[in-house]
Chain A
């Protein structure tokens, strides 16, 4: 009787999980395994006969200057993540005070996140226009003689993308911090105030450490999200000028669908995965030093 019930339970579990599992199998797991296999082949779109070439793709990767350039660009891109987290935190703390129009403000800050997409990328592209764009127009009007070329020069393009990303993620980080701030006990803050702590001290010594699990979460998920990003850059610069905004995710796409070099594209994509894994593991190990649960 009991055994029968257990078996029935198990069956039902599979029935409930099954349909979704089938999709995950078809559209995630099998492609992932397939892609892992492709890494060891010279599969090209034009030449459908796959040959096993062992580690040749990996050797090629290690000597590929463009791979290292995209790695470097990816790292510059990732700088945007902590910056938008810190700004998001500050905005959240302020919006958590007694102020008016709270809901409206929250919505306005959050809006960029929901309108993610190519459209936003094109708007920024025009605003960043170096000669006549409104951003440089504004900078000139306040006395900046040589405003940056933003997306148009190899030295500034990646930082311009950083600005778009900070703008895009800020509202999301703010919202998550706002939720975390609800959990901070107000008695603690009252006590600190009575003991004569100044606002900045309270912010640095009490609130920031108390929300550190949230910071950790935003950092882990934010970095993963940024590394995977592709749309904003593909739409604005397509990796240019001169590969200066080719980040790894874009380099995978270019190899696969511009050069039709599928085997090598798979190899780069797994390098991308390895970096995500490395960053996640490093953060997990490092969290003990600064995350207080």
Chain B
């Protein structure tokens, strides 16, 4: 999103506006600040008002508790990483493959098929819960990671987003390759995929964040605690420690911080990808 010209409707009182906007932005992230601060406090300081942002008795004890013991977050992290990474790689590739078909190959029934994809997007996930539950039971993958990994390989949004991007690549590029005798496969792997790297990275990051944050599917399809992902482990930890507010916040930090890191690294891609698919989609 390159900035062209500013639409300045205000007089250049920029410093004052910056200060006001910064103050509001800090209000926006207060929940995170409060979370981290509380996780480092002692129990008696949790609800002290005025809020003690930097605890006087700084303690790491709550974080240690979250990461050690029988129900350590380590297991949940490994489970989440496994599911999110396989899902991210698989979904990105499978979406790219299908998006190429929809964007660059003219075949019979293409538009009808695409319309079907469109309509599938409107179906709330709750409609699919019960039948998927029955299907997974029947197939023997209920309460296994496969119940999350397999559906996670397919994202309709991903097909839309990449189709949009592939459509924007000039046709001349493939035409000259056709004349040189290349087929669709070669064009896809050698030309389109390398050109689409930014779009693929965007989808990969967005998809990773979805899979990492996915709570509903894990809640419905996993019962075995050793299989729990981070959101589910977090819920469990908090339900079992409803009076340990510091522990709750230490656990919440464990659930959020990886996404903040991913966001800090991929901010540009995430924002660009979302705007492209929304504004031009």
Known contacts A224-B122, A235-B235, A273-B127; is-contact A24 B97 (Cβ 8 Å): no
A-side contacts of B134, CB under 8 Å: 34, 262
Q: Does B51 contact A (CB under 8 A)?
A: yes
Query: CB of A28 within 8 A of chain B?
Result: yes
User: How many contacts between A and B, using CB within 8 angstroms?
Assistant: 316
Give A220 to B183 CA distance when docked, in angstroms: 40
For B258, the closest partner residue in chain A by CB is A115
C-alpha spacing A180/B267, complex, angstroms: 19
Is the beta-carbon distance between B32 and A111 smaller than 8 angstroms? yes
Beta-carbon contact of B128 and A31 below 8 Å:
yes
Q: How far is the CA of A30 from the CA of B206 in the complex (A)?
A: 26
Interface residues on A, range: 35 or more
Chain A residues, CB < 8 A from B183: 12
User: Could you tell me the dominant secondary structure of chain B's interface residues?
Assistant: helix
Q: How far is the CA of A113 from the CA of B10 in the complex (A)?
A: 28
| Chain B residues positioned under 8 Å from A96 (CB to CB) | 6-7
Contact pick for A19, options B6, B98, B108, B213, CB 8 Å: B98
Contacts of A101 in B (CB 8 A): 18, 22
Residues of chain B within 8 A of A38, CB atoms compared? 130-131
Tell me the bound Cα distance from A86 to B81 in angstroms.
37
**Does the CB pair A122–B234 fall under 8 Å?**
yes
What are 18 A-B residue pairs whose CB atoms fall within 8 Å in the complex? Answer: A12-B107, A14-B101, A27-B132, A28-B120, A34-B135, A98-B6, A104-B25, A108-B28, A110-B271, A114-B262, A114-B263, A117-B259, A118-B215, A122-B249, A228-B125, A230-B216, A231-B215, A273-B124
On B, residues with C-beta under 8 Å from A are 1, 3-10, 12, 14-15, 17-18, 21-22, 24-26, 28-29, 31-32, 34-35, 38, 46-47, 49-51, 94-95, 97-98, 100-102, 105-108, 110, 113, 116-117, 120, 122-135, 150-151, 153-154, 156, 159, 183-184, 188, 209, 213, 215-216, 219-220, 231, 234-235, 238, 245, 248-249, 251-253, 255-256, 259-260, 262-264, 267, 270-271, 274-276, 278-279
